[in-house]
Amino acid sequence: MTPFAYAKARDVRDALALHTAHPGARFIAGGTNLLDLMKENLTRPSTLIDISNLPLTDVEAEADGGLRIGALVSNADLAYHPLIERRYPLLAQAILAGASPQLRNMASTGGNLLQRTRCYYFYDAGVPCNKRRPGSGCPAKDGLNRIHAILGASDQCIAVHPSDMCVALAALEAKVQVAGNRGERCIDFADFHRLPGDRPDLDNTLADDELITAVTLPARGFAEHFAYLKVRDRASYAFALVSVAAALDLDVDGRILEARIALGGVAHKPWRDPEAERSLRGATCDEEAFGRAAEALLRGARGHAHNHFKIELARRAIVRALSQAAAAEGNV
């Protein structure tokens, strides 16, 4: 590990000032991803600005019926928060499908959004990687690509975004609140993470000097009909090969008023397709309708040597998650 300086920020303004004063600095929250990257010499911050003391640890109901989640709320506290369990159980389910209890105690809401891909080649400093060093190449394309993208990839990068929490946040249409030296702004979740294109080194649209202060949720939590289905190699402590966050709003006759479907493990960002969701409006909850939505969502999916199986896996996972959501199987 390369030597680095350390500073503890008192509040948001102090954190931003410290960041400006120390070129090459990085914020550290729970450290569960950043420290691993530093130990492998994949990232070498000049200074770690510890934000763990910032007053961003509350989950608060908002006047518009939504919820504001401070960026430093731990994944564990968030998943078991009474307002999340009652109003946004899809989010609780997705968080609890990730990592381990110990990691969820440390991991923060903001850090979870910014965790980096689990592509083997990205974590191996001995091989080229366009995400680490733009223009150096992508060994995953012709290498071991079992866990890689089937949607939205580019010639430069086929890595996937690893978070579970973000898949639920995408389906719930969360917003990311950020503060920077130029002021505060709010980013729609769909615009927060990005596809690799010719800049796979950029995972998201956060500026280098910006701090995530909160994630906000709209009032609608789909607490009646939801499912988070994660398909992985082990039953726990493994990243998703494919995951599906499904949320349905049904009328009294069981017809779909609104559907949300987000996929994890398949692209450089949580994957949604408004057309697939629209296709379910007015439909009855059956395998045929869910299968049609799955086909629409996976339109354009393309496998690589070792991950063609993900296309069929995703199709089946979408149908199953929607069926579970319709049957309210998660509401136990």
Ligand X SMILES: Cc1cc2nc3c(=O)[nH]c(=O)nc-3n(C[C@H](O)[C@H](O)[C@H](O)COP(=O)(O)OP(=O)(O)OC[C@H]3O[C@@H](n4cnc5c(N)ncnc54)[C@H](O)[C@@H]3O)c2cc1C
Residues 94 and 222: their CA atoms lie apart, in Å, by: 14
Residues 9-68 that bind ligand X (CB under 6 A): 26-34, 36, 51
324 contacts ligand X (rule: CB under 6 A): no
- In whole angstroms, what is the distance from residue 68 CA to residue 215 CA? 6
The footprint of ligand X on residues 172-211 (CB under 6 A) is 211
- Residue length of the chain: 332
Residue number, 29 or 150, with CB nearest to ligand X = 29
Of 232, 305, 304, the residue nearest 265 (C-alpha): 232
Task: Decide if residue 71 touches ligand X (CB under 6 A).
Answer: yes
**115 vs 279, beta carbon nearer ligand X:** 115
Looking at beta carbons, which residue is closest to ligand X? 111
Q: Which of residues 115-174 bind ligand X (CB under 6 A)?
A: 115, 162-165
Decide whether 207 or 327 has the Cβ nearer to ligand X. Answer: 207
- Minimal distance, residue 326 CB to ligand X, in Å: 25
- Would you say 244 or 248 has its CB closer to ligand X? 244
Burial of 100 (0-12, 13-18, 19+ CB in 10 A): exposed
Q: How many helices (H) and strands (E) does the chain have?
A: 12, 11
Smallest CA-to-CA distance from 162 within 227, 89, 242, 224 is with: 242
Contact between 107 and ligand X by CB under 6 A: the answer reads yes
Q: What are 217's strand-pairing partners?
A: 67
**Adjacent-strand bridge partners of 26:** 48
Interface residue with ligand X among 7, 42, 83, 106 (CB under 6 A) is 106
What's the CA gap between 208 and 166, in Å, rounded?
A: 20
Q: Which of 70, 89, 98, 152 binds ligand X (CB under 6 A)?
A: 98
Of the candidate spans 62-70, 98-106, 144-152, 291-299, the one that interacts with ligand X by CB under 6 A turns out to be: 98-106
CB 142 to ligand X: min, Å: 27
The CB-of-191 to ligand X minimum distance in angstroms stands at: 16
Look-up of token digits 């990311």: 176
Instruction: With CB under 6 A as the rule, give the number of residues binding ligand X.
Output: 31
Closest to ligand X by CB, 105 or 323: 105
Q: How far apart are CA 98 and CA 74, in angstroms?
A: 13
For the segment 239-258, give every residue that binds ligand X (CB under 6 A). 239
- Nearest distance, CB of residue 93 and ligand X, angstroms: 12
Please state, in angstroms and rounded to a whole number, the distance separating the CA atoms of residues 144 and 120: 8
Angular region, 65: left φ>0, alpha ψ -120 to 50, beta rest: left
The residue among 177 and 324 lying less far from ligand X, judged by its C-beta, is 177
290 binds ligand X (CB under 6 A): no
Shortest distance, position 275 Cβ to ligand X, whole Å: 27
Residues 89, 83: Cα–Cα separation, whole Å: 9
The neighbour count for residue 73, using CB atoms within 10 Å, is 22
Strand ordering across the sheet containing 47-50: 5-8, 47-50, 26-28
Per CB under 6 A, does 317 bind ligand X?
no
The one segment of 97-105, 146-154, 247-255, 283-291 that binds ligand X by CB under 6 A? 97-105
For residue 142, what is the DSSP state? G
The stretch near ligand X (CB under 6 A) out of 108-116, 126-134, 190-198, 322-330 is: 108-116
Take residue 324 and report the two structure tokens written for it.
């579970």
The count of other CB atoms within 10 Å of the CB of residue 11 is: 13
Q: How far is the CB of 54 from ligand X (least distance, A)?
A: 8
Interface residues toward ligand X, by CB under 6 A: 26-34, 36, 51, 71, 75, 98-99, 103, 106-108, 110-112, 114-115, 162-165, 211-212, 239
